[in-house]
Amino acid sequence: MKISIVIPVLNEAVLVVQNLPALQPLRAAGHELILVDGGSDDATVSLSEPFVDQTIRSSKGRSRQMNNGAMAAKGDVLLFLHIDTLLPEGADRLIMNGMKREMGSWGRFDVRLSGGHLLFRAVNCLMNWRSRVTGIATGDQAIFVQKKLFRTVGGFPDIDLMEDIALSKRLKGYSLPCCLWQRVITSSRRWEKKGMVRTILLMWFLRGAYFFNVTPNRLAKFYDRPR
């Protein structure tokens, strides 16, 4: 089973150099790396080209970028990976064995934030626990899904925020997620930049508003609002 790893980026020259080399063993094992650029004006694309199988230029927007990457994918399984997230060793084997064991068609990893503050450990636990209880995965957890099912549900909706939650809801109509205990490590830079408590409160607000049908495109204005 071949995995296509789809990585949406925008002005991430530093991180593509830091993190793409760690994915090369997966390429060597026959899997595919697809980088989808949303209009970077730095050296993101040129620096990433030696490390990926395909580079796709797309309009800005994570959902659009990931859908475009999925359209070009040649693998049987799609793995949507943020550039600031590191996979555990043997991620391909973990995904294949997990899906086979649970007879699932999609899933995600547990997550660990990179920051050393103790509050991050509590956030990790809450994110992973909530995901298991609700069957909803977030992009930070490296969502994987059979390509056939991804196309059946219509991919990610074309929205500016909450695309991962919306996709999870679509996929739950077919099966519950395969929740792997192994952890991806995702950067805590967003939390550290905006402030941990402020970011936690903002995430709760956004999720609550989305639950009460506030449109994701409207919520994106709150998410991107300067501090």
Asked if 166 and 137 count as a contact pair (C-beta separation under 8 A), the reply is no
The pLDDT of residue 143 is: 98
The model carries a pTM of: 0.88
Fold of 3-188: Spore Coat Polysaccharide Biosynthesis Protein SpsA; Chain A (3.90.550)
Residue 94 has pLDDT above 70, yes or no: yes
Confidence of residue 226 (pLDDT cuts 50, 70, 90): very low
Give 51-62 pLDDT, tens digit per residue. Answer: 999 999 999 999
Q: Which of 45-59, 107-121, 158-172, 180-194 has the lowest mean pLDDT?
A: 180-194
| CB half-sphere exposure, 52, CA atoms < 13 A | 27
Give 197-225 pLDDT, tens digit per residue. Answer: 666 666 666 666 555 565 656 655 555 54
Residue 118 has pLDDT above 60, yes or no: yes
More confident residue, 46 or 159: 46
More confident residue, 137 or 227: 137
The pLDDT of residue 3 is: 98
Q: Where are the domains of the chain?
A: 3-188
Q: Quickly count: other Cβ atoms within 10 Å of residue 20's Cβ.
A: 22
Residue 182 has pLDDT above 60, yes or no: yes
Mean pLDDT of 66-73: 98
The pLDDT of residue 135 is: 93
